[in-house]
């Protein structure tokens, strides 16, 4: 399935200046991020140019809608595997119109840059249908991998797309390599190893809140009387805050670049000032860091409800040692979560601005420690390792 994914990403569509397209993607951080998630398919203008972007967007929208519609939240959290299957089905349905809209927006963007030749309405409809079908084809491949393979198929496809860009970056670095930069490259590799180790530690880090269950006698049987814990992860929000912050931060600059070519004098002047403001590395880095930290707290509060956790513990006859059940337990869990989320927010903020820091420190433009890509790769590798270890343990148990 991964080979089929890479073959599909190399099938191009006609009517595009690919050399000019590559230059635009290299100069735009927003388009570079989108190309990273698509595995370079957008930059190649292939039949799967949107990659899994529409499906990721649909999944995030559905998760946010669970906070607005209680029935949807109940279906996602309390209906078991059947409810989650229906939730995923809704996400796939939502992917189709999102893919059509994103393909139309992409073609419009490329036409405004003079990259797409004049096409008829029929050709435009054919292109949108092809790109939408390509995105749904990748979703289907991901579902097959999830069903027949090991781990989450969609995550593995994103992982494969990111990894596929590494040989290109290494090749460009070897071409531009000079002996005078040997120490710089060695220092870059050392920093990369330390950063990867830090990402692994933070991704695996969690705070265990102890839970005790009282003994209960029902008929002639005794239940309970054991201890457990609630794992509160340091990075509870994953990579979602970085995506949210980057979208909000880069959208004004992207709009300003389009408006800077306006025939209205004051509009073009204002747009150029806004674009210049967002292109300053220091301003961009500070705003990026702050937005990532704020979105980390926001998304954690959306996806993790201490009050609901406290109610579930109380219904099962459990309690946190030294804390009264009910509202005090919810306050305690919320207090602990806020403290460890601070570490996770600072970590995600540093990961987000890491490419700016590394490129400024080492002056290497062909290689980059992409924080978002690094976080995704590490998370997928760790999850795949857990899946493989679980399969090996199950096989050894059956053999024994």
CA 332/CA 336 separation, integer angstroms: 6
Domain ends where: 133, 164, 195?
A: 164
pLDDT(366) > 70 = no
Q: Is residue 170 part of a domain?
A: no
Domain ends where: 164, 195, 223?
A: 164
Are residue 140 and residue 195 in the same domain, yes or no?
A: no
* Per-residue model confidence as pLDDT tens digits over 75-134: 776 656 777 788 888 889 999 998 898 888 777 767 766 666 667 788 788 888 888 999
Percent of the chain whose pLDDT exceeds 70: 78
Q: Is residue 354 part of a domain?
A: yes
pLDDT of residue 137: 93
Are residue 122 and residue 261 in the same domain, yes or no?
A: no
pLDDT(367) > 70 = no
Are residue 209 and residue 339 in the same domain, yes or no?
A: yes
Model-level pTM?
0.73
* Per-residue model confidence as pLDDT tens digits over 311-350: 888 887 788 888 888 888 889 888 898 899 898 888 888 8
Q: Which of 29, 186, 370 is nearest to 177 (CA)?
A: 186
pLDDT(221) > 80 = no
Q: Is residue 308 part of a domain?
A: yes
For the chain, how many structural domains are there in total?
Answer: 2
Query: How many of the other CB atoms lie within 10 Å of CB of 377?
Result: 18
Are residue 151 and residue 188 in the same domain, yes or no?
A: no
Are residue 142 and residue 214 in the same domain, yes or no?
A: no
Domain ends where: 164, 183, 215?
A: 164
Question: Over 255-315, what HEC string results?
Answer: HHHHHCCCCCHHHHHHHHHHHHHHCCHHHHHHHHHHHHHHHHHHHHHHHCCHHHHHHHHHH
Provide the residue range defining the domain that includes 53: 1-164
DSSP-assigned letter for residue 181: G
pLDDT(220) > 90 = no
pLDDT of residue 400: 59
pLDDT of residue 209: 86
Are residue 151 and residue 253 in the same domain, yes or no?
A: no
Of 290 and 82, which is predicted with more confidence?
A: 290
pLDDT of residue 212: 83
Q: Is residue 169 part of a domain?
A: no
CATH classification at residue 199? 1.10.3370.10
Query: End-to-end alpha-carbon separation of the chain, Å?
Result: 33
Are residue 143 and residue 260 in the same domain, yes or no?
A: no
pLDDT of residue 271: 76
């Amino acid at each position: 399935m991964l080979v089929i994914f890479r073959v599909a990403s190399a099938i191009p569509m006609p009517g595009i200046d690919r050399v000019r397209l590559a230059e635009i993607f290299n100069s735009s951080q927003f388009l570079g991020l989108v190309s990273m998630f698509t595995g370079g398919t957008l930059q190649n203008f292939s039949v799967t140019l949107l990659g899994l972007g529409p499906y990721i967007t649909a999944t995030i929208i559905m998760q946010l809608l669970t906070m607005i519609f209680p029935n949807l939240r109940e279906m996602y959290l309390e209906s078991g595997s059947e409810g989650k299957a229906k939730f995923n089905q809704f996400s796939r349905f939502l992917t189709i119109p999102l893919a059509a809209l994103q393909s139309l927006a992409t073609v419009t963007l490329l036409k405004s840059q003079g990259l797409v030749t004049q096409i008829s309405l029929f050709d435009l409809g054919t292109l949108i249908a092809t790109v939408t079908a390509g995105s749904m084809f990748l979703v289907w491949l991901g579902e097959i991998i999830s069903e027949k393979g090991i781990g989450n198929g969609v995550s593995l496809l994103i992982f494969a797309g990111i990894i596929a860009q590494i040989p290109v970056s290494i090749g460009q670095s070897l071409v531009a390599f000079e002996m005078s930069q040997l120490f710089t490259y060695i220092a870059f590799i050392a920093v990369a190893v330390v950063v990867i180790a830090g990402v692994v530690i933070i991704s695996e880090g969690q705070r265990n809140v102890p839970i005790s269950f009282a003994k209960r006698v029902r008929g002639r049987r005794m239940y309970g009387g054991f201890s457990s814990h609630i794992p509160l992860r340091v990075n509870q929000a994953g990579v979602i805050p970085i995506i949210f912050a980057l979208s909000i931060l880069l959208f004004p600059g992207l709009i300003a670049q389009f408006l800077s070519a306006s025939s209205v004098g004051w509009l073009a002047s204002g747009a150029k000032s806004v674009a210049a403001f967002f292109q300053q590395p220091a301003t961009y880095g500070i705003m990026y860091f702050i937005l990532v930290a704020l979105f980390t707290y926001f998304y954690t509060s959306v996806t993790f409800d201490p009050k609901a956790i406290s109610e579930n513990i109380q219904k099962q006859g459990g309690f946190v040692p030294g804390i009264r059940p009910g509202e005090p337990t919810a306050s305690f869990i919320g207090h602990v979560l806020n403290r460890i989320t601070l570490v996770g927010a600072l970590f995600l903020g540093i990961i987000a601005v890491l490419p700016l820091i590394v490129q400024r420190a080492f002056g290497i433009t062909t290689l980059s420690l992409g924080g978002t890509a690094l976080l995704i790769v590490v998370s997928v590798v760790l999850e795949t390792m857990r899946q493989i270890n679980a399969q090996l343990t199950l096989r050894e148990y059956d053999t024994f």
